């Protein structure tokens, strides 16, 4: 059987922080090895259980997903993550939240949302 991916996979070497959302305090350093539209491969020093929900962070990016596999490769583990959700430019969102622009009642609405009425606090 000839197996071919539907989406291209892009090689990267990006340091990341991986948090197992099902185990409080379980935060692991890792390496983002490659990515496609629907998933990423992580290189980790510890094994993660297939089915575990994790958060992957670097810079201003947060990815959420499910570990599909985690296999030993030499001294490390290669883990496949199926992406569930992604947030980009989180530093910008944090600045907006701190300044009150994101929640201030008098902040101007984007015209695309003008038909939505604001609910009082």
pLDDT of residue 5: 62
pLDDT of residue 101: 58
**Alpha-carbon distance values, 39 to 3, 92, 113 (Å):** 17, 25, 32
**Domain 10-113, second-level architecture:** Beta Barrel (2.40)
pLDDT of residue 61: 93
pLDDT of residue 112: 46
Per-residue model confidence as pLDDT tens digits over 51-100: 999 999 999 999 999 999 999 999 999 999 999 999 888 777 777 777 77
In terms of pLDDT, which residue wins out, 2 or 16? 16
pLDDT beyond 60 at 3: no
pLDDT of residue 90: 78
Per-residue model confidence as pLDDT tens digits over 15-40: 999 999 999 899 999 999 999 989 99
In terms of pLDDT, which residue wins out, 115 or 22? 22
CA angle, residues 78, 81, 83, in degrees to nearest 5? 160
């Amino acid at each position: 059987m000839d197996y071919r991916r539907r989406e291209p996979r892009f090689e990267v070497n990006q340091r990341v922080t991986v948090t197992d959302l099902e185990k409080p305090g379980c935060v692991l350093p890792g390496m983002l090895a490659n990515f496609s539209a629907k998933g990423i491969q992580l290189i980790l020093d510890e094994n993660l259980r297939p089915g575990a929900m994790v958060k992957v962070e670097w810079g201003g990016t947060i990815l959420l997903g499910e570990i599909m596999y985690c296999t030993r490769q030499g001294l490390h583990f290669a883990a496949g993550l199926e992406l569930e959700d992604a947030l980009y430019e989180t530093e910008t969102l944090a600045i907006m939240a701190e300044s009150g622009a994101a929640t201030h009642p008098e902040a101007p609405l984007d015209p695309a949302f003008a038909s939505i009425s604001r609910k009082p606090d």
